[in-house]
Each structure stands twice: as C-alpha cells, then as structure tokens.
Amino acid sequence: MPMNEEKIRKSLQTQIIGTKIHLFDHLSSTNKWAMTRLVEGAENGELVLAERQSEGKGRLGHTWYSPPGGGLYLSIILHPNLDSAQIYRLTLVAGAACSEALSKLSGEEIHLKWPNDLYAKDRKLGGILCEARIQGDKLTGAVIGIGVNIHLDRKKLPSELESLAISLADLADREWNREEVAAAILNDLEKWYNRLKSGQWSEIVAFCDEKNILKGRQVEVISAGETFNGEVKGLSKEGHLILRLDSGEERHFFEGDTTLSCS
C-alpha cells in the first residue's frame, strides 16, 4: 500500500522535522530533489519521501537499490549552524537516531559501520547520505538522506546484495508499516539533532562509538585515494575513526570507505 502523509503525521512528535511533507510515487533521488529544493529556498525541516527511486544515491557514487515498497527512502532539509567541514557531524547524528529508533522497533541491536552504514546481524540494513550547500566556509543548508530496507524480495535482489543486505522484515516477522518506521526515525532524529545544537557533541560521539561495529576489528580504510589496513580503536572526540595501522602508527580519518578484513 502506498504511504500516506496523515499516517506519518499521526506518529510524528517533532517541532522542526516534517513542517512540510512532500510524498512522491517516484523520484530519481529524494536527496537530489531536496538539494534542488534547498537552492530554491526550502524551510528548515522539510521532508521528502518516495515510494521508489530510479537513481537512489549512495556514498562514493554508488547507487542505492530502491524498489517500490521495499524500503524507506527519505531526505530531510535542515539549516544547521555548522562550518562546512562539520557536515560529517550530521551523518553521526542521523546514525545515532536510526540506530536507536530501529533497535526499539525491531528488538535487535542496530550497529553503525562508520561512517554511514546501518548494520544488523553483520549485514547492511540501511545507509545515510548527507549533502550540503556551502557558501564560503559556511554550511548554508544540508540534506540528510536515509534509506532503510523494509522488505527485500530476495528473488529480485541484485546479486551483489544477496549476501550483504538485510531488512526489517528479516529481523522481526511482523507487519512493517513504513509510515511508523519513518516517524520513529524522525522523532529520534530531531532529539539527536537538538543534542547537537545544544552542544552535546561528546554524547553523540560516545553513542556512535558504542554502536560502532568496526571497533576492535581489522579493517581496510580507503581515504583520499590511499588504502590503509589496521585495527579500529574507536572514534576520536571529533568523531573521526581511529585506526592502529599494522605498522603500529595511529591514524585518524574524518572520511573514508571501510571494509572488514577477512580473519
């Protein structure tokens, strides 16, 4: 059944997020739509959702698989008071919110695979893609894009996702209502975003560090075109990934692509 705006509003307890809700049957990408809207002068908190995306965007130029009804595809437009270099903070805020909301709903622990993946049972449940509009060194607007697998039709799943992806329906066998999942995530997102605004950055990092599936594990990090191997020590107070390289040297990464090494 297609999503219904009233059903989202019924469960939404937010002051900022969802001031306006834009619901589409089809978009190329909710993030792309939201970025255009931002340039046109969107209000703080506008929310866009689509039943399906034809060019859903993942990090690093990847495509986000977005079949109709199979997942939640949404983007939130915000006007945060951050420097342009602090956009990654929104990824951690969204990760904390999704982890908390989806754990409560599914009864399973939802981990974060730094910087932007949502993991359950060692498989990918969802992802976050933050984009920003920058003028000078100020971030004048941001878009937080969130994709969550709700129900995956394994027969139609692209082969590269077969052993990687998991859905909420795989975690808990119940009727999954996408409006309820969206509202739960957005309620927690506003709570964590308010923590960011009120200076509680260290609490956000501590939560993400505790949920970080990479902690203590051997990983490969590709950052700025270079590849590094080592053991993840955790997150620094800035929210950067701390890697103890095989050479013994410690490196901090503020961005990068991480892959668990086979043990």
Per CB under 6 A, residues contacting ligand BTN are 29-31, 53, 56-59, 62, 64, 73-75, 116-117, 127-129, 145-147
Least Cβ distance, residue 164 to ligand BTN (angstroms): 11
Question: Residue 74 or residue 142: which is nearer to ligand BTN going by CB?
Answer: 74
Which residue of the chain is nearest ligand BTN when measured via CB? Answer: 127
List the helix and strand counts (H, then E) for the chain.
6, 12
Smallest distance from the beta carbon of 53 to ligand BTN, in angstroms?
Answer: 6
**Backbone phi, then psi, for 48, in 5-degree steps?**
-125, 135
Nearer to ligand BTN by Cβ, of 22 and 199: the residue is 22
Smaller CB distance to ligand BTN: residue 49 or 105? 49
Q: Which is nearer to ligand BTN, 31 or 99 (CB)?
A: 31
- Per 3-state DSSP, the chain is made up of helix, strand and coil in percentages (nearest 5) of 30, 35, 35
What DSSP element (H or E) covers 180?
A: helix 178-197
Of 82 and 128, which has the nearer Cβ to ligand BTN?
Answer: 128
* Cα–Cα distance list, 206 to 4, 66, 88, 114 (Å): 36, 31, 15, 13
For 106, half-sphere exposure in the C-beta direction (CA atoms, 13 angstrom radius) is 26
Q: Smallest distance, Å, CB 205 to ligand BTN?
A: 20
> Closest distance between ligand BTN and the C-beta of residue 132, in Å?
14
Output the smallest distance, CB 246 to ligand BTN, in A: 27
Closest CA to 198 of 101, 53, 119, 93: 93
Q: Tell me the C-alpha distance between 124 and 165, whole Å.
A: 5
Do 17 and 189 meet the contact criterion of CB atoms below 8 Å apart? yes
